[in-house]
Chains A and B, each alone.
Chain A
Amino acid sequence: MMCEIINIPVINTVPSTADILRAQGISKNEVPNRKTVVLIDETIQRLMNTIRPVGILLGISKDDFAVIYEGEGMNEPQAPLGRIFGFGDDLAIFIVTLGESVSREISDHFNNKDLALASMLDSAASEAAEMAAANIESHYRSYLKRIGRLDVSTGIMRFSPGYCGWHIGAQKKLFDFLKPHQIGVALNDSLLMQPLKSISGVIVSGRKEIFNFDDSFSFCADCITHSCQDRIKAIYEKEQFN
């Protein structure tokens, strides 16, 4: 089983201007004013100077993952991941973080009343954390390809505790397996990861069809993004093999 600590190049996690604007509630059809454009440039610069993206990735058997998935026994009975991982070919669990400095810098800007910069840096850092997780997923994809476990029928998708009916209680066991203190990530009593800009989860690799599900479960009503449908679509649009 693979187990790797991966230092992710900062440049791979810098979000686009459009992504930062979207996170600030400005859609691509709207034109930001001059001050906002200047603010974005400063935000990106500060983000690049502050974050230290690093992840830990561990290949795991279905039996071991079943223990993690079950967590504290509070998953939604219909959670899609409960079915999907059973049909998967390969699984890996991961935690990725941007480090503590960026959260400190965001707080400092709020305290200094640089409110717009603080808010934009927070949005940019959240996007950067997602991109860091996507980097870990790419790394896993490359690994599977290298060992001959990937072909044109394969899809890859990642899931995180707290989403899609997978209860956040699974964090504890995920941490037991990953031991992410090696990359400076800890879990508090509320199952909140510190540093705040961290993402944990599982990456499932398997036939593309196993990932199909609708966003019509009762717990989907609480979801703001419904991004699952775009992610499923991407499996079919993107050539996973390359």
Chain B
Amino acid sequence: MDIFLELSENLQNGEAERVGILTRKALEEGLEPRKILDDALIAGMTIIGDRFKAHEIFLPDVLLAAKAMYAGMDVLRPFLINEGIPTIGKIVIGTVQGDLHDIGKNLVAIFLRGAGFDVIDLGNNVPPERFIDSALSEKAQVLGMSALLTTTMPTMKKVIDLAKLRGVRDRFKIIVGGASLSWEYARSIGADAYCFDGMNAVDCVKGFIAK
């Protein structure tokens, strides 16, 4: 079997250990790290994403596949860093100040990484200044904010207002998400998009990057 196909299939089956072994084998065979990443790992995660969207598989299957992808990425990372290969886009993401819920944000980060984006995860309880500073220093194309509580949602507006105040609002797109949010709320605070789940965030960010 073609090693890329074998890698992709093992990734889709959530066989993390096997993906690590096969990634090393592919490198030993002289295959380019970038091709291994694009044609095996990201290709496998794209199939997983499509099957998840089609309700053929479920969240645990996606997360097992994501763990397998990380196992491959861990092997590739030193080579990718050496080659300075750019990713398809960079996103800074975090849960806003005052909010400690980060499961939803973590899932969005997993989906974005699986689609090939470079995700800088700031964690939870992130102050507005840190969101803006990180997005600028990382030269991120997209800034993502998560909030679960109605009491912490207004902090998203504080971040957007701070970006405007510092004259950097046009440097990156801003996406927001969280159980209590809606498109209406996202618009009202001046965000560029509301993402209701991880796959939706991938589609949304891909749309921004393509423009």
Q: Measuring CB to CB, which residues of chain A are less than 8 angstroms from any residue of chain B? A: 24-26, 30, 32-33, 35-36, 39, 106-107, 110, 113-116, 118-120, 122, 162, 168, 188-192, 194, 196, 222, 224
Contact = CB atoms under 8 A, between A and B. Distances in A.
B192 interface: no
23 contacts: A25-B58, A26-B59, A33-B61, A35-B61, A36-B61, A106-B103, A115-B106, A116-B60, A118-B63, A119-B60, A119-B63, A120-B60, A162-B150, A168-B149, A188-B98, A188-B100, A191-B149, A191-B151, A192-B151, A194-B100, A196-B100, A222-B180, A224-B179
Given A24-B59, A116-B63, A188-B98, A110 B106 contact: yes
Contacts of A192: 98-100, 149, 151-152
B120 interface: no
Contacts of A116: 14, 59-60, 63-64, 67
B58 A190 contact: no
B107 interface: yes
Nearest to B147: A190
A222 to B, nearest CB: 7
A113 B101 contact: no
Given A188-B98, A192-B98, A119 B103 contact: yes
B182 interface: yes
Given A35-B14, A106-B103, A190 B98 contact: yes
Interface residues of B, number: 26
A119 B63 CA distance: 8
B149 A24 contact: no
B66 interface: yes
Nearest to A122: B103
A113 B149 contact: no
A35 B27 CA distance: 29
A115 B67 contact: yes
B172 interface: no
Contact of A115 (B66, B100, B151, B180): B66
Interface string B118-152: 00000000000000000000000000000001111
Contacts of A33: 61
B110 interface: yes
Nearest to B124: A107
A190 B151 contact: yes
Nearest to A191: B151
Contacts of B150: 162, 168
B194 interface: no
Given A113-B70, A114-B67, A191-B149, A25 B103 contact: no
Interface string B138-181: 00000000000111100000000000000000000000000110
Q: Which of A35, A190, A192 has the most CB of B within 10 A?
A: A190
A122 B179 CA distance: 15
Contacts of A106: 103
Nearest to A112: B67
B67 A113 contact: yes
Nearest to A221: B182
Nearest to A106: B103
A24 to B, nearest CB: 5
Contacts of A39: 60
Contacts of A26: 58-60
Contact of A196 (B14, B59, B101, B152): B101
Nearest to A74: B150
B125 to A, nearest CB: 9
Interface in B28-72: 58-61, 63-64, 66-67, 70
